[in-house]
Amino acid sequence: MSPKKNPQRERTEFGRYLTSLRERIGLGTAVAAREMGLKDRQQLDHYETGRTMPSDSILIKMAQLYRVHPDELLRKAHWPQLILLPLVSIIDPEQLPEDLIKEIEKGLNKAERQKLTEYIEELLRT
């Protein structure tokens, strides 16, 4: 029997951002998790892979540890909601494809955000 391979974890854009902040100051996951008061490094890994989202209080601890302004981190973390809430208020949610909502929740890169903007503008014209 061959050993199981770890599947390639697809990191969200926000998860990649968290990883880059941690690596920028030269911390490993175990040390960073301990400094934030997390129970173990796996919890931090779940945040960095996008498996789970940190609470606002953890985001503020991250901002302090990673030496970034808390507003920046909170805005990046809540970007999907900042987009979805106004969308839902002006567009019937039934018109938004489920896969689009899932992509927004994962986090979009700049090109994907542009494509989403164009899609929304098209919906608003109709």
> Considering the entire predicted model, what is its pTM?
0.59
Calpha distance 44→39 (Å, rounded): 9
pLDDT of 107 over the 80 cut: no
Same domain, yes or no, for 28 and 66?
Answer: yes
99 lies in the same domain as 56: no
Structural domain harbouring 34: 13-70
Look at residues 55, 53, 73 and name the one whose alpha carbon lies nearest to residue 64. Answer: 73
The answer, yes or no, to whether residue 97 has pLDDT greater than 90, is no
**Averaged pLDDT of the chain:** 76
CATH number at residue 29: 1.10.260.40
pLDDT digits (tens, 9 = 90+) for 6-49: 334 456 778 888 999 999 999 999 999 999 999 999 999 999 98
Asked if residue 21 is part of any domain, the answer here is: yes
Q: How many domains does the chain have?
A: 2
Residues 85, 47 share a domain? no
**pLDDT at res. 41:** 94
110 — pLDDT class (breaks 50, 70, 90): low
